[in-house]
Structure 1
């Protein structure tokens, strides 16, 4: 029997992380999210906070390109290589849910993989991030735009694919319309 892996990509505030954890819990399989960041940090020698932040910023810009031509690969490129290896290894070890980190792309040809994208309208997500993460100086809407922009740029840089476009996933779910629990049920039933 082939390994069955579920990857969850998500818009910020859509509940993708929560959905992934609940799906894994109900299926009795591991979920890798913050655990993945910790594994990358351990293997790379970088601080977990740096790994987390680097995973949402695409290398780029004039100075970065000049630097990489002069001195070789960037720290972000090194982290991408380690991330790629770890995700591939985890998928090879057995069934699991992997949240974010371009796992949908990394496992596109390596595992029996259900690639899911979770999205919702801005109002639902803004309300949810305030409930989950609290108020901040910047507005919830600005936080959504900034985080989604970074995720899209990172995904595009390393995969050359458009993040969030339905044709790149097996399933896209609107958690604002369906609700978190219904999304969990749908994914679980497709497993």
Structure 2
């Protein structure tokens, strides 16, 4: 069956966002990344700024601190409300049109759909560090810290909400090393797998 939806999970600095955007352009389908923040904000009743900071990367301080976070009368934390709003938006987008969705646990949210290709993009440390240094205009030490912090928060969020292990190959249809393959080949492989 042809794949209509492509989800891309990625390590920070691997170029996964860039690869996803290029695949969407080449396939002529919609690309969703930060542009779904306003919809998530609307559904959750929280500000777009809060969603941008928190949605994909919460919880910030690990599972123990997360377990002690403030909750409402139903037992839901703010992060839970954001996740639920995010889940609804992703399901609506997938129902509506062919698209590429970056991050936000979309692979897990759409796990029961037959027409979804779930991709994980990772890379080698030197290439990821160099990319972060170039994109964010930071020194190597800061790039390493940014990468470790961002990936740790993505992993904590993913593991908490999915009961799966972030980056584990069996959770995805396809795992690609952008450092070894290059962006163009990653894009070509993804597009070939969609057919």
Which SS does the other structure have where 2:20 is aligned?
helix
Aligned length: 191
TM-score (ref. length: structure 2): 0.90
**Is 1:174 matched with 2:177?**
yes
How big is each residue's C-alpha offset from its partner over 1:77-118, in whole Å with a ceiling of 9 and x where there is no partner? 001111111101100112110000000000000351000000
Alpha carbons 1:3, 1:91 under 8 Å: kept? no
Alpha-carbon distance, 1:181 to partner: 1.3
Alpha-carbon distance, 1:135 to partner: 1.1
> Cα 1:69–1:93, aligned 2, differ >3 Å: closer, same or farther?
closer
Equivalent residue number for residue 5 of structure 1: 5
**Is 1:25 matched with 2:25?**
yes
Alpha-carbon distance in structure 2 between the residues aligned to 1:40 and 1:70:
22
Alpha-carbon distance in structure 2 between the residues aligned to 1:2 and 1:121:
31
> Cα 1:133–1:69, aligned 2, differ >3 Å: closer, same or farther?
same
**Is 1:124 matched with 2:130?**
no
Alpha-carbon distance in structure 2 between the residues aligned to 1:17 and 1:66:
30
Unaligned runs of 5+ residues in structure 2 are none
> Cα 1:137–1:74, aligned 2, differ >3 Å: closer, same or farther?
farther
How big is each residue's C-alpha offset from its partner over 1:122-147, in whole Å with a ceiling of 9 and x where there is no partner? 11111001111221695211111111
Alpha-carbon distance, 1:43 to partner: 2.5
TM-score (ref. length: structure 1): 0.91
- Map residues 94-113 of structure 1 onto 2, 5 A cutoff: 94-113=97-116
- Map residues 30-45 of structure 1 onto 2, 5 A cutoff: 30-45=30-45
Alpha-carbon distance, 1:69 to partner: 7.9
Structure 1 stretch 161-170 or stretch 49-58: which is displaced more? Answer: 49-58
